[in-house]
Structure 1
Amino acid sequence: MVKMGTVWDRTVEVLNGRTGMIAPIALLGMVVPSVIRDGYVAFSTPGTISFALVGSVLAIGTLVAMLWSQLAIVAIATDPATDAASARRQAGARVLSSLGITVLITLVAVLLVIPPVIVLMSSSGTIPYVGFSAAGSAMLRTAPSQGRAAQFAILYFSVFTLIAIWIGARLALLNAVILNERRGVGAIRRSFQLTKGLTWRIIGVLILFAIVMLVSTWAAQSVTGIIFRLALGAKGIATATFLSGVVATIVTTVFTALAAVFTAQLYVAVREKLPQE
């Protein structure tokens, strides 16, 4: 049986021995792109076509860079024989697969969010019933009052959140599978196989990790935000906000890199449990 304590101990060992390799990749793939994106948003004029286009390109570039860095860190943490150059090459070869799967999962999530939104809009008279499919029209006609629509939306999103947490736990090894087993969409099924019997333990780790990360990020951003605002004055609020955001990005990057190492070690611990396909 895989013990999370043992996985954590191995994670610490990797960090103690390979932080010098991991840190530059995290800086290049997570911190720098995020700072460039946030800096553009903070100091550019919104509401223009160029702002939207450049912002979209930077957002996509940041996502690709973050996926690449996570894959590279997983490569470093999975195999002690992997050096930084090899990890970067492996990540580069698999980043498009990771991006495609990420987009697919995001699209599915967005589609699942649409039904309660439609019900809420229809109950408030924001959208007409005309133009929907028969099933959609029937759903809208039976959406009784705005109060009942809100209750439906709350219940829907509550169930959706619980299911999303469960699925997130089952996909915890997704990047490790994409990288090490060279799989595409099949990596989703493989991750589900590898995490069988570990779901609740992974959920516990995810919740604890999320709480610590959010509290640490909020504290760092709040404290540095106050300091920067006092130092820069009323005219430097935008700059102070941006700089405190940079600090928050650095803190988030530390936790993201830690999560990548942990999932890599979890993958190492469980990959022999099921036969390779």
Structure 2
Amino acid sequence: MKQRLLTAAIGIPLFFVVLFFYATPVFNGALSLILGIGVYELLQTAQYGRKKVITVTCVLFGVLLPWFELPVLKPYRVILLFLFAAVLMAALLKWHDEIRMEQISQLFFVSVVYPIALTTLVYIRDSFDTAHGLFYTVLVFSCAWAADAGAYFAGRFFGKHKMSPKISPNKTIEGLIGGVITSLLFAVAISAAFSAIMASQNVAVSINYLSLLGATLLGTMVGVFGDLVASVMKRQNGIKDYGTIMPGHGGIVDRFDSVFFVAPAIFVWLQFFMI
């Protein structure tokens, strides 16, 4: 518990520093850093670190994805994706006695799908004005982290009924309910704060609370789904955490496993329903 709180005491201020530079390349750089470490953790977990050329290529591609919207890279996104796939196929040919095709598929998933999922935060920023984009981004993290915190404490004090004992023994139905309630309360609080800030600048904001409720419920449940997927991957690889970079939490993937799923879910929601 002390380690979790200490990590939070360091991480939360850093989070707000990054949000302060939300409309700048600093935000892209922060996502690149997260993805670089995250892809590396996933590769090490799956024991692909023995081939350094594969590791370096996968990490670099993951780091590059948050910058694909730059004018200099945007026209070449598809080309870069196919070049990356070609490198993986070349690795399969070179080390065909050691690497199987399903492992190449896993490498592609880890290096492309996960980074694209987190990069939807850039798409959210670029699809709206800065204020609204920032609000939606904070909502993403609220659905992931507020729900996680609420589930942790509700499960610890009230948890009796296991939700998925074979995948994640510590998760309970009571924890899930506590996480959903906490996430909803945070979403309402964030919306009220956003409205007040905009009103102080003489800008009237109307919140569609029905859409907010739907987006928050979707984000929270998808976040739980992402957390369980990460737990399955850890169990299949026989590890407890993806890393040790964040004491009390584990690795970058341990802390962002829900965000990888919540961000694209909220992005899709916003294509059909405004908040």
TM-score greater than 0.5 by the shorter chain: no
Higher relative contact order (CA 8 A, sep 6+): 1
Larger radius of gyration: 1
Normalising to structure 1: TM-score of the pair? 0.31
